[in-house]
Amino acid sequence: MFDFKSEDEFLGKDTSLFVVSLDEHKRIEKHVRNELKTKGYMEIDTKFKRIDGTLFDGHMRINPVDPKYPGQGEIVSILDITKRKVAEEALKESEELYRNLFETALVGIWRVKIQDGRYLRSNLKCAEIAGVKSIDELLKKYKVSEFFSTDERKKIFTLLKAEGEISDFETHFKLKDGSTKHVLISAKMFSEKSYIEGVIIDITHRKQAEAALKESEEKYRNLFENSIEPVFTVDLEGNFTSINKAFEEMCGYSRDEMIGKNYSKFGNAESAERIYKAYNHLYRTGEPIKNLNYKMLTKEGEEITIESYVDVIRKGEKVVGFQGAIRDITERKRIEEQLFRAQKMEALGTLAGGIAHDFNNILATILGYASFLKNKADRSDRFYEGLSTIESSALRASDLTSQLLAYSRKGKLEIKPININRIVEEVYNFIVKTFDKSIKIKIKTENDLCAVEGDESQLNQVIMNLAINARDAMPDGGLLEIMTFSEIVEKETDMGYFSLDPGEYVCLKCVDTGIGMEEEIIKRIFEPYFTTKGDKGGTGLGMSVVFGIIKGHDGYIDVNSEPGRGTDVKVFFPASKKKEEILYKGLIETKSGSETLLIIDDEKSILSMLEGALMDYGYKVFSTNSGEEGVKIYKENEDKIDLVILDIKMPDMDGKAVFEEMLKINPGVRVLLASGFSEEEQHYDLLKSGAAGFIGKPFIVDKLLEAIGRIML
């Protein structure tokens, strides 16, 4: 026990060597004396020390050799109890652990007597669930039957008797204040010991959370189903897992037809690739997809444009799918494209008008000098023919700028009620003689047709351009029909480039049996300089001029065509209740004059031409290229100046400002307005304010002299 090799080695050793310390040895000795006196023997558990210094637990018993004579010595027996001590410590630790678990458990632990249901044991959590202040109160004052309804109590007891135990039995726990808790009970009956043991778990919060979750899911389901926006979910492979009613209505497919199918099955390859890239980016970054546009095919085969918002579906931290809402923006895209086309046409119109204005100023000088020199030359003069050629070429160039101004809707218009049937007949009489005989031409006009308020020359140009286009589309001959009729539009109608408002219209229709056009060409036919004739001729201005004129007359145009099936062009003009009046103006004979004129124009070349030509015809002339200088000259020579020829478009001080200053000097001032860029509203305003007349650039000298002669009458 003490690891001595022999009895001889052990005998004679001091007993203090075999205990932990001298203090422990003294304590044992004292204890021995006291115990022997009182009981006649002594027993003690203590630590003993082996010869190598290691310790072990031992139980020591001391008896006197002769109880009658205690001083004769003691018999000492020592038992190594190390294993027993280890077992006792383990048991103690286990009991401590059980006690801690029992007292600090997050579930209620209890034991009740089978006979009367009184609590025999309980931990603090059980008391808390029961709504009492302490364990002691629960054990002394309550029976388990008080916390259950009669039916529930019977049900629990019946199950225990039948099965011997119950597990996760869900029931209601009634408290003294009348409230109830949802609880789970697991218990076992020990009949031989006359008690039942078990645990009780308060699941009230869990049940409330489940109810809230159920309510939330119900709300989400209702929102999902009743949303006016199409809503969907797909898995990570892009297979549909759910769609709502709005989605079904939009695409025409039922849930059964879409669930489990991949999104790529419902669109073209380009759209599928776009969706794949967007979803892949969403999966990697977690950034929601906003305004993803792509094409989708409905069940009827119609291609619609979709705008979508998509986010991920997560379970915990894991992405398990995608959810989103889509919108059919086909109509919006059509309107945006329509607006873009209209804005493009407007921008091109502004550009065309600006070019025409600058070009007219150049032509004004060329045409003015050519007509002036031609009037001075004799017909037999060797320069006469050359001057005539210059004049006619300049006039043709002027016609081109007129077309540009018509396209930009800034040309000079003389608006009056016009019988469009008369214009159709005039065009017919011309084209039936000039078009190739292989083209058969028919006209069909409606009697008693309402008038159209417009410019006669421009309406003539519309019909002529449409007829020429039809002719060029029938190189091998065909049929051209020109028709007029009235039409009432009941509701707003989309016409591609703009919408047709409700109302009564006079319609012009040109139908040919020519080669027709593809959709992409139809989209561009109103663009200036766009032509399909290549090197066979054509300026590309014909249809753009038609568009500008029709728009300037508050009208509408619709073009329908297919390759090989001809073209149908329908033009709408607002009907007028006014009647056409055909007026004839007598010509004023061109003559010289002696009046004094003030010419104000920012183009020095035009000033020089006008000054020389008018002086040659006997007029006295002041001239300047500055509006401010013109006002100064007029103020200083008001009594001498009979007429002011005033350019409207000038830098710094324009014609309108100059005219207003002159009116302050002399309310009766006579002014002839001139411009190569006719802004109708501004002209009308100035004419209403007292301007004597208007002449558009470029002009020949005879026309200017005629205009001056009319004013000076």
pLDDT in tens, 116-162: 889 898 888 888 888 888 888 888 888 888 888 888 888 888 898 88
Beta bridge partners of 418: 452
Inter-CA distances, 456 with 541, 578, 674, Å? 19, 15, 22
pLDDT in tens, 585-624: 444 454 678 899 999 998 888 888 888 888 988 999 999 9
- Provide mean pLDDT across the span 509-527: 86
Please tell me the predicted confidence (pLDDT) of residue 408: 52
Residue 679 pLDDT > 60 = no
Beta bridge partners of 185: 169, 200
* CA atoms within 13 A of residue 493's CA, in its CB half-sphere: 12
- Provide mean pLDDT across the span 53-82: 81
Lowest mean pLDDT among 50-54, 64-68, 209-213, 540-544: 540-544
Please tell me the predicted confidence (pLDDT) of residue 586: 41
- Provide mean pLDDT across the span 220-231: 82
Pair 120, 139: CB distance under 8 Å: yes
Residue, of 371 and 567, whose pLDDT is higher: 567
Q: Where are the alpha helices (DSSP H) in 377-435?
A: 384-408, 420-434
Element (H, E) at 365: helix 330-376
Angle between helical axes of 655-665 and 680-688 (0-180°, round to 10)? 0
- Provide mean pLDDT across the span 488-500: 73
pLDDT band at 233 (very low <50, low <70, confident <90, very high): very high
Please tell me the predicted confidence (pLDDT) of residue 347: 64
Please tell me the predicted confidence (pLDDT) of residue 449: 93
Pair 42, 29: CB distance under 8 Å: no
Please tell me the predicted confidence (pLDDT) of residue 631: 94
Please tell me the predicted confidence (pLDDT) of residue 26: 85
pLDDT in tens, 272-330: 999 999 999 999 998 999 889 999 999 998 999 999 999 999 988 899 999 999 999 88
Tokens 């305003």, located at residue? 685
Domains of the chain, first to last: 7-88 (3.30.450.20), 105-207 (3.30.450.20), 227-328 (3.30.450.20), 334-399 (1.10.287), 413-576 (3.30.565.10), 596-712 (3.40.50.2300)
Share of the chain above pLDDT 90, in %: 30
Q: How wide is the angle at C-alpha 101 spanned by C-alphas 96 and 107, nearest 5°?
A: 160
Beta bridge partners of 173: 181
Q: In whole numbers, what is the pLDDT of the chain averaged over residues?
A: 83
Ordered strands of the 195-202 beta sheet: 119-122, 108-113, 195-202, 180-190, 165-174
- Provide mean pLDDT across the span 675-698: 75
Query: Closest by alpha carbon to 478, among 443, 452, 507, 441?
Result: 441
Q: 403-419 b/e with 16+ CB inside 10 Å = b?
A: bbbbbbbbbbbeebebb
Pick left, alpha or beta for residue 543 (phi over 0 → left; psi -120 to 50 → alpha; otherwise beta).
Answer: alpha
Residue, of 599 and 336, whose pLDDT is higher: 599
pTM (predicted TM-score): 0.39
Top mean pLDDT of 220-229, 304-313, 371-380, 387-396 is at 304-313
Residue, of 158 and 413, whose pLDDT is higher: 158
pLDDT band at 535 (very low <50, low <70, confident <90, very high): very low
Please tell me the predicted confidence (pLDDT) of residue 627: 93
451, exposed or middle or buried, with CB in 10 Å at 0-12, 13-18, 19+? buried
User: What is the sign of the dihedral through the CA atoms of 347, 350, 354 and 359?
Assistant: positive
**The token pair that represents 226 in the structure block:** 């009743």
Question: Could you give the CA distance from residue 145 to residue 123 in angstroms, rounded to a whole number?
Answer: 18
Please tell me the predicted confidence (pLDDT) of residue 587: 40
Pair 242, 233: CB distance under 8 Å: yes
Pair 670, 713: CB distance under 8 Å: no
Please tell me the predicted confidence (pLDDT) of residue 499: 67
Q: 486-512 b/e with 16+ CB inside 10 Å = b?
A: eeeeeeeeeebbbebeeeebbbbbbbb
Inter-CA distances, 670 with 403, 667, 678, 691, 696, Å? 31, 9, 20, 6, 17
**The token pair that represents 142 in the structure block:** 């309550």
Please tell me the predicted confidence (pLDDT) of residue 645: 94
Please tell me the predicted confidence (pLDDT) of residue 608: 85
Residue type for position 116: D
